[in-house]
Structure 1
Amino acid sequence: MPVRVAESSAPSQPSGSNCGQTSPSACSLLSVGQAFSGTQNVSSMQKDEAWRVNVRIQGCDLEHGYLCGTMEALNVPMADTPVVTFWEGEIVDTKNYTFFTGKWEATPEDDIRHWTKFPSFSALQRWKEQYFVNVGTDCGLTIAGFYYVCFSCSDGSINGFYYDPNSSPFQKLELKSTNEGRQGFSFSSYELR
């Protein structure tokens, strides 16, 4: 799942214009090893459902607008075990990436509809799941869409919405920062098996 992170002085400027800021401010909660936990609401017209979700940042390069990590969905009805995906993120900093996605079947109208659902445009992200880590593509799930994500440097919370034209619209993602895995050293290289 790609991630887009941005800082903007006003939510009325989703055009990607530079508001005088060249890159997001460094934030200790947006770093390698940081973990987040919460839920993704996957409700549809037929049923109300939420999955427990854990996210961990595996790589972070703010200068080049890049984040990556893993996302684990714990109580997926069609899966016998938690479903883990690897995601890559784009930081919306108007230097490397803008508010407009320009790929993954998202139109400028889709971008505007999703970004305007956030209360502010402070530290925004977009992330795209790239592949399943521990299950096959026959698990009954899809990673065709991506997430619009807002990260708060003040409290480490993440709020987002999943976009896939073939899925329930505006599936809400709500995560809070945890201290898990924050003791000791962290390194920016990683390997998934």
Structure 2
Amino acid sequence: MPVRVVENSTPSHASGVNPECALPPACSLLSVGQAFAGTQNVSSVQKDEAWRVNVKIQGCDLDHGYLCGTMEALNVPLADTPVVTFWEGEIVDIKNYTFFTNKWEATSETDVRHWSKFQSFSPLLSQVEVDGGKSLDLSNYPYIFMRWKEQNFVNVGIDCGLTIAGFYYVCFSCTDGSINGFYYDPNSSPFQKLELKSKNEGGSGFRFSSYQLQ
């Protein structure tokens, strides 16, 4: 499967959003240094497989709907070492980004189909189908919706057996810091599920190896 590395890491804002809309709630569990651990199910018709995954947030700017971090896959079959990628995220805050992606080969139908996989999205569905959610007020909603796009490999080459051509639809719980996501790439197995739990409960962090981001 071909691997496509995106050269431009500058986030592009959605057009036509309402600048007066309130931002999603600030959440201490979604901040720089927060770490998460869990799995990504990559099962296909031929095999049932899940990778252990670690995620760490490296940057967060709620005013601009932006965050970034690293993702580490630990048991990738074709890789001799854990595979680390750098990703950038768009927070669906209506001010900067709506629920409609408008890029990365995702149509509005693709968006609705993936967002609808999250139970927490159900109360928002009817309005999102109309205008991408531009008139919604998410300031007190207990969930934060995001898109995560892997930009480059950190510690391996593009021949590691993984593709970063797609992106993740992500739902973050402000209550317990859990993360659920679904990977979208037209050329990969559909609806690969990402399930992560916060590793910072009680002040105890999750220790990551050190990687230098270029």
Whether these two folds match at TM > 0.5 is yes
Instruction: Determine if the alignment matches structure 1 residue 129 to structure 2 residue 153.
Output: no
Tell me by how many angstroms 1:140 deviates. 1.6
SS for the counterpart of 1:137 is coil
Deviation per residue, 1:29-77 (Å, 9 max, x gap): 0000000000000000000000000000000000100000000000000
Structure 2 residues without counterparts, runs of 5 or longer: 1-5, 10-15, 122-142, 206-210
Deviations 1:110-142 (A, max 9, x none): 101000010113311111000000010111211
Deviations 1:124-176 (A, max 9, x none): 11110000000101112110000000000100000000000000000000000
**If the length of structure 2 is used for normalisation, what is the TM-score?**
0.76
Deviation at 1:21, TM superposition (A): 4.8
Aligned equivalent of 1:110: 110
Q: Is the 8 A contact 2:180 2:193 kept in 1?
A: yes
> What is the identity, as a one-letter code, of the residue corresponding to 1:32?
V
The structure, 1 or 2, with the larger RCO (C-alpha pairs under 8 Å, 6+ apart) is: 1
Report the equivalent of 1:13: none
Match of 1:40 in 2: 40
For residue 120 of structure 1, give the secondary structure of its aligned residue in structure 2: helix
**Percent identity (aligned):** 82
Q: Which runs of 4+ in 1 moved over 6 A?
A: none
Query: What pairs up with 1:45-56 in 2 under 5 angstroms?
Result: 45-56=45-56
Quote the offset at 1:179 in angstroms.
1.8
Structure 1's unaligned 5+ residue stretches are: 3-15, 185-189
User: In the alignment, which residue of structure 2 is the partner of 1:142?
Assistant: 163
Q: Within the alignment, does 1:151 sit opposite 2:172 as a pair? A: yes
Matches within 5 A, 1:1-193: 21-121=21-121, 122-179=143-200, 192=213
Rounded to whole Å, the distance in 2 between the matches of 1:22 and 1:179 is 28
Cross-structure match for 1:187: none
How many pairs align? 174
Distance between the aligned counterparts of 2:100 and 2:41, measured in 1? Answer: 24
TM-score normalised to the size of structure 1?
A: 0.84
Deviation at 1:108, TM superposition (A): 0.8
Q: Identify the structure with the greater helix proportion.
A: 2
